[in-house]
Every structure is written in C-alpha cells, then in structure tokens.
Amino acid sequence: MLSSLTRLFPALFLAPVALAGTIYVDANLATGLNDGSSWANALQGTLALQDAMLQAVAGDEIFAADGTYVPTTGTSRTTSFRVINNVNIYGGFVGNETSPDQRPPLGVAPSIMTADTNGNGSISDNSYHVIRGFNTNATAVLDGFIVRDGFANAGGSNNDRGGGILLTNSSPTIRNCHFIHNRCNFGGGAGYINSASPTFTDCIFEDNIGGSYGGAFDMATASNVIFDRCEFYGNQAARAGALEIFSTSGVVVSNSIFQGNTSTGSGGGGALWIGSGGSTQVINCTIVDNNATSNTVGGLLRSGSTVLVRNTILWDNSGPGGAQNAANQMTGGTSATYCIVEGGFSGTGNLNSDPTFTDAPAGDFTLSASSPGIDAGNNASVPGAITLDLAGNNRFDDVSSVPDTGAGSGSIVDIGAYEVQGSIGVVDTSCSPISNSTGFPASLFGNGSLVVSNNQLQLDAIQLPLNQFGYFVMSRTTANVPVGSGRLCLGAPLYRFNTSILNSGTSGLMSFAPDLTALPQGQVFLPGDTWSFQLWFRDGASSNFTNGLGFTWQ
C-alpha cells in the first residue's frame, strides 16, 4: 500500500522545500533560540557563518553581525568558507538593521572571516584559503567582510595560491571587503583567479604576500576581471607587488589606487605586472610610491601584452639605480594617453607635471586645487557604466575656475583615482531619473556659485539621447510624478526656460547658464530661497527628465 501511494503522490513523502529568507548570524550572541530566524535568535559562535552557508538556499541572504568567524574549529587546513550562487552574504552589521543599506561604514562593526581556526595567532596551521569558489557566477555575492590570515603554503589542489580567496572557474561579485595579512607560496596572497571572471568593487587589499606572483592577486587564463574603486596598499611578491595579470584578456582596473606595493624579483613590477598575451585597461588610477627592489619598473611593467593606460597618474614609483624617471613608472611601448607620468611619457594628452596631491606624506592622494590633473582627462576613455570615483563622488565634475585641458564635451574627467568636486546643488534622491533610450538615466550637475549676486550658475546634463531638444524648468517645490517616459521631480507652479531651446547634438550633452537677473515670468531668487531645476528632453517618440537638483541661494 505504501509503495503505491509513493508512486501516486511522491510529494507527500519528500522533505518540505526550504523557503528563501534571511539567516541572521552573531558570533557574540549568547541568548535566544540559535536558529538564525532573527537578530535575537541569530546563529551563535565562531562557526555561525559557516553554519549559515551550509543552510542557505537559492534566494537567501545571510546577515552577519560584527565578530570573528572561522570555517572550522578542527585541524583540517583544507576547510574554507565559500560563496554560493543566488545567495547574498553580507557582513558588517551592528545587529539591529533590517537592510544592508543601514550598516555603518566598513570596519566600524567588523565581521571577520579568518583562517586562524584555533585562534593561536600562528599562521603555520591556518587554513590554506579563507574562501573558495566552486563553479559560481555573478549571483554569488560577498559584501562587507574583513578576510584575513589565509596561508596557502602547500602543493597540490592549488593549496599554494590564493590565501584570501581561491577562484577557479568561479566568478562571484565581491564588494566592500578588506583582504589583509593573507599569504601564499606561489601567487596571489589575497586571491588567485583562474578561468574566472569575478568583479571586485570598493575593496581594500592590504599587506598581503604573494610568493612568486602577485602580492594581492595573481590571475592566469582568466577573462573580463574587474577591479573598480579598489585600494592596494603594502602588498608584496617577487614579480608583481600588487596585481599580476598573466595571459588574461578583458581586465579593467578603474578608479583604483596602488601605493606602497613592492616587487622583489628581477623581472617584476612594483605595482602591476601584465604579460604573456591578453589585454588590460588601466583607467583613472593613481599608481604612486611603489617600489621594485631588483628591477627598474616600480609602477607598471608590461611584457608581451596589450595594455591601455588612460587618465592615470604614475608618480614617485622607484627602482634601483638613481633618480626616479619615466622608466621607473611604466614600461616603454605601453599605450598611455591623458596620463601624468613622472619623467614624461609619449602619448596624446600626457603630462610631466607634479600632480600636487593634497597631502601625500599623510596618504591623501586626492588632487589639490592647483593640480594639473583637474579637468585634464579624456571622457571617451571612461566606460559608460562608471559614474563614481574612488571616494564615491561624481566621476565627471567640472571645476569652473580651472580651464578644461582634457578631451570631451561637458564636464571633463580628472586624471587619477579621485575627482575634484566643483559641483553645487543637492540631488533630489527621492525622485530618481528613469533610463532613457541610451540605456542610462540622464544626470544633471551644477557648478558655479550659490551667491545670487554673482550670477554664476552652470547646469550640465549628460547621458542624453543624441540630437534631441529640451529645455530647463524650475520650481520652489518638489514632486515625483510620471510624465512621458520619465519622472517630473518639480511641483507646481513650474517656470520654464522655453525661450532657450537646447539640443543634445552628437555628444548627448546640454549645458545652460541661466541669467539669474532675468528669470522666467519675473521670478527672483533671494538669499535663503531654495529652488530646484530639472531638464525636460525629447526621447524618441516620448520625453524624459534628468534628476532634480536643488539650490539654496545665498
């Protein structure tokens, strides 16, 4: 009887399907049900994060409070944490949040993933890898952790590489993580990437030791690896102080800083070694104060690979044998344009002028107000999806007092990882613009002065459809109303600058400097008044809007 029922109704005899949800983890909690159902009942102890990973199903999120987590409390050095397809693993919570957006900045409530499984402080018996990836894709997300103390020092099964994270045929999304004090014998102290396409955003790689290849990362026969808004400090290996890119195509390193990394081998590059075929783009980076102890190139060494360096600063990188010069910064023959290179470097828009950092001795490599890198890059070199600099500020931001010496229309990008901010006005974040026919939302920026009597306001709208017309509107009030294909962020009454019809032309840009002494319908700006502006524009058969931008006048 039972066998016939199981054939007719098999679902009655299967375990219930787990429902996706949030699993809460708190290493320091000592009360509650210890079932992961809430912060009060979070999984407890140093193994709690590993337990959550074992329980997780597709669609789950894991929230980990501050504390120290280990992959095992046993003696196995091959046990690691893992990233999981369709599971978002978040750390850095205080323990009362309902969303990752409510977390404090990275490091305030540190969630630590460590390979020091017995907590004895000795690296010799640590796990080979803190994290491993097993056939994962971009839906495997790790966000908000400190990853430390991996020690890949054995041969076989890649246990000599990727102390922090080992990625073979695994392409997760890694964000807001700090890889520190990981090491290996072969290559990639922080991580090893093979036949994979991971993305790293807003990550820090610090004081990792990579053995022969890549103090921070060693990658081989990978593709389309992305590092955006990342920081590489104090990493060391024989051939590449920070990044080794070997026989790999499609790598993009953007909005990132390399400082204090060291190559100790005879064929190494202090910050980056890129070679044996493949292609790499280095865009809007700051490569400064790196060192090669046995080879000339302290900055970027290219060896038989296609390397495009754009809008990048290479300065104060050193090798043995005397004063710093261009040979210390970058290998000759590299394609470099709109860069600042100490000693000079052949290429369109390149400069040989001190970038005048704000405070280099204190580690502040933002550009000072007198830097020649301001508004001196090439807009066309910046990938379309990039809108922020290393500090999270607008990537295209005009400083009106500085002449534009770079290339492009509208606000010209700065050279280096940081963009000097000249914008004024406050974006209305409660009314987000909707993507237009370019595939991106149109963005509105303001520059000039908030002092009404100065009559200096410049409005720039970018990422507009080409050859379309539009005009600006303004209002004392705000709203959020669907109109056409976009959102009107201004409330009634509206005042239109419709006697100043603009066209986006072939650059997808509209710029406008309204005369503050002759505003529509006789309106007047007084100190203390707040007015908001928005651009309406034609978008094919419909119309759309930029974001709203508010100004409180002085």
Distance, in Å, from the CA atom of 323 to the CA atom of 318, rounded to the nearest integer, reads 8
In this structure, what token pair is assigned to residue 399?
Answer: 């400083």
Q: Is the peptide bond before 520 cis (omega within 30 degrees of 0)?
A: no
The residue with tokens 């809108």 is 387
| Residue-level pLDDT at 454 | 86
Residue 116 pLDDT exceeds 50: yes
Q: What is the pLDDT of residues 43-57, one digit of tens each?
A: 999 999 999 999 999
| One-letter amino acid of 267 | G
| CATH code matching the domain that covers 424-552, chosen among 2.60.40.10, 3.90.1150.10, 2.30.30.240, 3.90.950.10 | 2.60.40.10
Task: Specify whether the CB–CB gap between 406 and 456 falls below 8 A.
Answer: no
Contacts of 435 (CB under 8 A, 6+ apart): 441
| Residue-level pLDDT at 157 | 87
Enclosing H/E stretch for 457: strand 457-462
Mean pLDDT of the chain: 93
Dihedrals phi, psi of 323, to nearest 5 degrees:
-65, 150
Give DSSP secondary structure letters for 63-97.
EEESEEE-S-SSS-TT--EEE-TT-EEEEEE-S--
In this structure, what token pair is assigned to residue 526?
Answer: 């007084």
Q: Coil, strand, or helix at residue 492?
A: coil
Dihedrals phi, psi of 520, to nearest 5 degrees:
-60, 140
Q: What is the pLDDT of residues 319-342, one digit of tens each?
A: 987 778 999 999 988 999 999 999
- Span 138-161, mean pLDDT? 96
Of 458 and 138, the structure prediction assigns the larger pLDDT to 138
In this structure, what token pair is assigned to residue 26?
Answer: 């708190």
The 3-class SS string of 509-531 reads CEEECCCCCCCHHHCCCCCCCEE
Contacts of 312 (CB under 8 A, 6+ apart): 282, 283, 284, 285, 286, 287, 336, 339, 340, 415, 416
Contacts of 381 (CB under 8 A, 6+ apart): 283, 284, 310, 311, 337, 338, 413
| Residue-level pLDDT at 19 | 55
Q: How far is CA 141 from CA 130, 165, 219, 327, in A?
A: 16, 13, 20, 40
Task: Specify whether the CB–CB gap between 279 and 309 falls below 8 A.
Answer: no
Among 352, 346, 444, which residue's Cα sits nearest to residue 398?
Answer: 444
Per-residue burial over 205-214, b = 16 or more CB atoms within 10 Å of its CB, e = otherwise = bbbbbbbbbb
Give DSSP secondary structure letters for 9-57.
-GGGGSPPPPPP-EEEEETT--SS--SSSSSTT-EESTTHHHHHHHH--
Judge residue 272's burial from the number of C-beta atoms within 10 Å of its C-beta, 0-12 exposed, 13-18 middle, 19 or more buried: buried
Dihedrals phi, psi of 410, to nearest 5 degrees:
70, -145
Residue 461 pLDDT exceeds 60: yes
- Percent of the chain whose predicted confidence (pLDDT) is above 70: 97
- Span 503-508, mean pLDDT? 90
Distance, in Å, from the CA atom of 215 to the CA atom of 237, rounded to the nearest integer, reads 4
Q: How confident is the model at residue 11 (pLDDT cuts 50, 70, 90)?
A: very low
Task: Specify whether the CB–CB gap between 162 and 129 falls below 8 A.
Answer: yes
Q: What is the pLDDT of residues 403-436, one digit of tens each?
A: 899 999 888 999 999 999 887 888 999 999 999 9
Which residue ranges make up each domain of the chain?
424-552
- Percent of the chain whose predicted confidence (pLDDT) is above 90: 82
Q: What is the pLDDT of residues 359-412, one digit of tens each?
A: 999 999 999 988 999 999 999 999 988 988 999 888 988 887 788 999 998 889
| Residue-level pLDDT at 198 | 98
Task: Specify whether the CB–CB gap between 177 and 147 falls below 8 A.
Answer: yes
Task: Specify whether the CB–CB gap between 411 and 396 falls below 8 A.
Answer: yes
The residue with tokens 């237009």 is 436
Distance, in Å, from the CA atom of 209 to the CA atom of 191, rounded to the nearest integer, reads 10
- Span 3-31, mean pLDDT? 59
| Residue-level pLDDT at 8 | 27
Residue 546 pLDDT exceeds 90: yes
- Span 536-543, mean pLDDT? 95
Q: How far is CA 458 from CA 327, 448, 531, 546, in A?
A: 42, 6, 15, 15
Q: How far is CA 520 from CA 211, 476, 496, 542, in A?
A: 67, 13, 6, 25
In this structure, what token pair is assigned to residue 405?
Answer: 């010496």
Degrees (nearest 5) of the Cα angle 295, 299, 302? 75
Query: Picking from 130-134, 458-462, 482-486, which range would have the lowest pLDDT averaged per residue?
Result: 458-462
Per-residue burial over 369-407, b = 16 or more CB atoms within 10 Å of its CB, e = otherwise = eebbbbbbbbbebbeeebbebbeeebbbbbbbebebbbb
